[in-house]
Every structure is written in C-alpha cells, then in structure tokens.
C-alpha cells in the first residue's frame, strides 16, 4: 500500500530536489534512477491522472520479488493454500482445483524469474551508486560526510545485495551444469563462488524480509527529510 502511494506521489524523493539544506545527497530507492518520463493521462471515468516515472522503475524490483522462489512458496502456501505442503490435501474450495504447478498461464510466467534477476542485478549497481552519493553533501557544505541517512542507505544496499545474490537463479548460473568441480581452475573457482552464494541462499527468506522492509523504510526516511518533518543528522 505504501509503495503504491509513493508510486503516484512523485515528490519528496530527494532532499536536494525539495530544497532541504544540510542533508546527505539521497535519492529514494523507489525513484532511482531518475527518469524524465513524467506525464498525465486521461483515463475515461477517472479523469486526468498523473503518471509517475516510479511506475516504470518499480516494475523490475516487483517482478523480481513476485517471481522469487521464496515468495512463491510463501504465497502459494500462506495465501492460495495451493498446496499447503507436499502431499497435503488442499482445503475448501481449493480441493476441487488441480494443482498444476507453474505449467499454465498465468503462473507459467513465474519461470521468467532469471530475467527478472538480470534486471535486479542492474538495480544493485544503480543503488550502489546512490549509496555512494548518500555519503556526500551538496548544500550548503559540499563533499564527503556521514549522516544517519548515509548509514540507512548503506544498510539497505547491503541487505538488497544479500537478497539479490542469494537468488536461486544466480546460484544455478554460478554453480549449475558442472559435472566436476575439481577438474579445472575455472570449475574450482565456480565451486568457491557457489559456496558463497549458497551461504546467502541459505538465508534467502531472512534477507527477503529484511530488504523488503529496509527499502520501504529508506524511502520513508527520504520522504520525511524531504518534507522537512525530520532532520538528516550529520555525524561528521
Ligand atoms: Fe528469490 Fe531469486 S529465488 S530472488
């Protein structure tokens, strides 16, 4: 609900853009990268509505999460109850439905997860740049500095990176389709990387939740600072 509200808000995504002095150079992750597509559309029955560039940006992280193997398990079991678990009967109205996995429309589209991963990896680079910028100040003192906002951006980026690179698709890209891990220098390197990805993959659900909350809270922080409701306290 909050993300949807912010998608249409199209404002208060950067203290600098809002004319706030003394805050770190922060750009809300919901609005990164800044796009110039900003227009109104006339929707029959609803009138003229503003279309924020955030709509285009949020498609990619949303597609990544909606097709994530962990979230799929969570919403199949917790929301659809279809199936609750292996070899467990489906309750109520669902008992008349045949569980078809992801072989039919619309759930067959979930198999596009690998491509959503590619887009998410690009966003990690973009958000990494935003995190670097959050350690700089523009007005009135230019240059390097650390504020509460800088640390929030760093924590958020670390959590998002841990979630993204703990992805099952990434783990398969790194270590899949290898018959022998010890047969060449390349396969030994892949094995080492695969072990590190497996460490993150073991904690994928934890990072999924932590990063989903942290990305929202990061936007809340930028929103409040940009509105002048709170001050981005500079540590040094
Ligand atoms: Fe969760 Fe890929 S499996 S992000």
Please determine, for residue 224, whether its predicted confidence score (pLDDT) is greater than 80: yes
Q: What distance in angstroms lies between residue 70's CA and the mean position of ligand 1's atoms?
A: 6
**pLDDT in the model for residue 86:** 77
Residue 113 CA: which ligand 1 atom is closest? 2
Best substitution site from 159, 169, 173, 206 to test ligand 1's pocket, by max atoms within 8 Å of Cβ?
169
> Does ligand 1 have an atom closer than 6 angstroms to the CB of 70?
yes
The SS3 of residue 9 is helix
Residue pair 119/64 in contact by the 8 Å Cβ criterion: yes
**pLDDT in the model for residue 94:** 59
> Does ligand 1 have an atom closer than 6 angstroms to the CB of 68?
yes
**pLDDT in the model for residue 40:** 81
Name the residue with the closest Cα to ligand 1, atom 1: 68
- What would the mean pLDDT of 58-72 be, rounded to a whole number? 94
What pLDDT band is residue 96 in, cutting at 50, 70 and 90? low
Please determine, for residue 52, whether its predicted confidence score (pLDDT) is greater than 90: no
- What would the mean pLDDT of 185-207 be, rounded to a whole number? 96
**pLDDT in the model for residue 208:** 97
- CA gap 133, 62 in Å, rounded: 24
> Does ligand 1 have an atom closer than 6 angstroms to the CB of 69?
yes
DSSP 53: T
Q: What distance in angstroms lies between residue 186's CA and the mean position of ligand 1's atoms?
A: 25
- CA gap 187, 200 in Å, rounded: 20
Task: Write the pLDDT tens digit of every residue in 122-173.
Answer: 999 999 999 999 999 977 777 899 999 999 999 999 999 999 999 999 999 9
Best substitution site from 61, 201, 204, 209 to test ligand 1's pocket, by max atoms within 8 Å of Cβ?
204
Q: Which of 195 and 47 is assigned the larger pLDDT? A: 195
> Does ligand 1 have an atom closer than 6 angstroms to the CB of 162?
no
Residue 164 CA: which ligand 1 atom is closest? 4
Work out the widest C-alpha separation in the chain, in whole angstroms: 66
Name the residue with the closest Cα to ligand 1, atom 2: 167
- What would the mean pLDDT of 205-226 be, rounded to a whole number? 97
Best substitution site from 70, 74, 111, 172 to test ligand 1's pocket, by max atoms within 8 Å of Cβ?
70
User: Which tokens belong to 14?
Assistant: 């950067």
List phi, psi (to 5°) of 148.
Answer: -60, -40
Q: What distance in angstroms lies between residue 192's CA and the mean position of ligand 1's atoms?
A: 20
């Amino acid at each position: 609900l909050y993300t949807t509200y912010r998608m249409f808000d199209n404002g208060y995504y950067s203290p600098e853009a809002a004319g706030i002095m003394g805050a770190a150079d922060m750009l809300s992750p919901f609005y990164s990268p800044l796009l110039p597509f900003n227009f109104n559309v006339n929707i029959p029955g609803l009138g003229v509505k503003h279309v924020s560039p955030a709509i285009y940006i949020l498609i990619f992280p949303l597609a990544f999460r909606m097709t994530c193997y962990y979230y799929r398990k969570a919403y199949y079991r917790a929301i659809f109850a279809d199936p609750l678990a292996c070899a467990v009967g489906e309750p109520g109205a669902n008992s008349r439905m045949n569980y078809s996995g992801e072989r039919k429309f619309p759930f067959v589209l979930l198999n596009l997860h690998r491509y959503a991963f590619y887009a998410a990896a690009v966003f990690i680079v973009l958000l990494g740049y935003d995190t670097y910028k959050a350690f700089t100040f523009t007005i009135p003192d230019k240059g390097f500095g650390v504020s509460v906002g800088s640390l929030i951006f760093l924590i958020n980026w670390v959590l998002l990176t841990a979630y993204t690179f703990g992805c099952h698709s990434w783990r398969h890209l790194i270590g899949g389709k290898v018959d022998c891990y010890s047969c060449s220098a390349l396969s030994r390197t892949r094995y080492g990387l695969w072990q590190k990805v497996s460490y993150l993959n073991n904690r994928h659900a934890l990072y999924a939740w932590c990063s989903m909350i942290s990305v929202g809270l990061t936007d809340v922080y930028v929103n409040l600072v940009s509105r002048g409701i709170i001050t981005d306290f500079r540590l040094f």
